[in-house]
Amino acid sequence: MVEIANPGMLELVVDLVLMPIVAFVVGLALVLMARRVRAKIERRVGPPFLQPVYDIVKLYSKRTQISHGWMHDVAIMLLLGGFITAEIFLPVPGMSGLAEHGDLLTLIYIMMVPMLGMALGVGDCANPNGSIGISRALTAMLAYDVPYIIAVVGACMVYGTSNLVEIVQIQQAGGPATWGIVTMPLLAIAGLISMHGMLGKEPFEIYIAPAEIATGPMVEMSGKYMGALFVMQCFQLYTVGVLYTTLFLGGGEMWLTFLPKVFAVILVFVAITNLFGRLRTEDVIAWMWKWPTGIALLGLLLVMIDV
């Protein structure tokens, strides 16, 4: 049995409070960046600096808040709770939170909890557009998670551990030559594509599809329910960015080197997303199971030969 050095009580409490807050604030900045970049590509000025805050405050301060049943409410709690849990198990510079008590595999499954919660809440809304959206979202998950899992498994094999703190330490100790993107470039590419799918950006935006199924899962969300989804978007961008940075870009010892990497990863997503239209559901699966999965399997083969 391996003994885990428990952090001091005070340090732990600080981590528990700070990690979600940092995630939220950075997530707000990421949302702002995504909207600004989109505006720039479309030759617009884009929203003002505090726009993400305005949107969330406005939604939470709606006078009427309609609910379709208790699962609709619980879904909102699960959504926030699941992502806050994920942030606490995701190590960032200076704060490792509880990352020692749950590893990468745990994190992947914790990140599915808010998704399941949202799916249940949307189902409770009894709106067919919402149900179609969830059906598509889960189908998309089946599509992008295959290359994603292969990339994650390959990374775990290269680092010889699934402990996120150790993965960062290994890359920090060895310098850029040991970063995942250098040691396993094919897996890094597959991971990038699959995480793009995970964010639901075009061309994999099948489950939002505003002109087709009226934003799918969000169709009956209003007021603070919608506000929670906006908060979730902040967490999601942050989580994906940090996870990719941790696995393939060496993590970071300090925020000054860490945050630029996170923003760069999200910038890649938001910069290329505007180039595409929307694929059909089955084309998303076919494409995801063909190209990223193929690349990832090739990368895994190289890793297996190497290890």
Partner 1 sequence: MNDQVPVVGEERPETCRAPDAEERSLWRRVMDQFADHCRSRSLFVLHYCTGCGAVELPPTITSRFDMERVGVSPMVTPRQADLLLITGYLSVKTLKRVILSYEQMQSPKYVLGFGSCTINGGMYWNSYATVKRLDQYIPVDGFIAGCMPRPEAVQQVILDLMRRIDSGQANAWRDYYLDYDTYLGRQAALFGEEWHTPTDVVAEARHYGYFGPGTTGVHTARLKNYTEWALNQIPELLPERGRNEKART
Partner 2 sequence: MSLLDLLLLLSLLTTLYLYAFGNHRNAGHLGMVVYAVATGLVIAMAGPLADGTGAVGSTFAPVMLGHVLSWSMDGLGWFFALLTTGAAFFASWYMSGEWNAEQPNKRIQHGTLALNVFCMLLLLSSGDLLSLFIGWEFVSWAAFLMMTQLGSHAARAAFRYMLYALAGAMAVFAAILIVKAQIGSFAFADLRAAVPALSDGLKWLLFGLFGLGFGVKMAIVPFHLWQAPAYSFTPGASSAFLNAVSARMGLFAILLVLGKLIGFATLSDLALPLIPMDAKTLLMWVAAITMVVPTFIALMQTDARMLLTWHGIGQGGYMLLGVLVATPLGTAAGLMHVLNYASYQMALVLAVFAVIHRTGTADLDELGGLIKRMPFTYLALLMGIIGLAGLPPMNGFVSKWMIYKSLLDTQQPLLLIAAFVGTLGTILSVYKLIHNIFLGQLRAEHQKVGEAPGSMLAPMLILAGIGFATGFFPGLALGVVDVAQAALGVELLPHGLGGVYLATGSLNMIWVVGIMIGAIGFGAFVFYVIGNRRYGVHQFDNYAGGHFLSADIRYHFSHEFYPGLARLIGPWYRGSVVNMENGLMIGLKTAGDLWHGAFRIAYTPFYLLVALAIGLWWAGLDGGF
231-250 residues in contact with partner 2 (CB under 8 A) are none
Is 202 a binding residue for partner 1 by CB under 8 A? The answer is no
CA of 197: how far to CAs of 30, 76, 226, 233, in Å?
17, 23, 22, 14
Is 219 a binding residue for partner 1 by CB under 8 A? The answer is yes
3 state SS of 250: coil
Is 55 a binding residue for partner 2 by CB under 8 A? The answer is no
110 binds, among partner 2, partner 1, none (CB under 5 to 8 A by kind): partner 2
Is 55 a binding residue for partner 1 by CB under 8 A? The answer is yes
Q: Using CB under 8 A, which of 6, 13, 21, 48 touches partner 1?
A: 48
Q: How many residues does the chain have?
A: 307
Handedness of CA 176, 179, 182, 185 (dihedral sign): negative
Question: How many Å apart are CA 253 and CA 208, to the nearest integer?
Answer: 37
Of 80 and 268, nearer to partner 2 (C-beta) is 80
Q: How far apart are the first and last CA of the chain?
A: 25
Is 25 a binding residue for partner 2 by CB under 8 A? The answer is no
Site string for partner 1, 58-87 (x = CB under 8 A): x--xxxxxxxxxx-----------------
What amino acid occupies position 165? V
Please give the size of the binding site for partner 1, defined by CB under 8 A. Answer: 37
Is 8 a binding residue for partner 1 by CB under 8 A? The answer is no
Residues with Cβ < 8 Å from 41, sequence gap 6 or more?
271, 274
Question: Which token pair is 246?
Answer: 């941790």
Site string for partner 2, 68-107 (x = CB under 8 A): xxxx-x--xxxxxxx-xx--xx--------x-xxxxxxx-
What amino acid occupies position 24? F
43 binds, among partner 2, partner 1, none (CB under 5 to 8 A by kind): partner 1
Question: How many Å apart are CA 4 and CA 279, to the nearest integer?
Answer: 47
Of 162 and 273, nearer to partner 2 (C-beta) is 162
Question: Which token pair is 274?
Answer: 């505007």
Residues at the contact surface with partner 1, assessed by CB under 8 A: 35, 39, 42-48, 50-51, 53-55, 57-58, 61-70, 210-211, 214-215, 218-223, 226
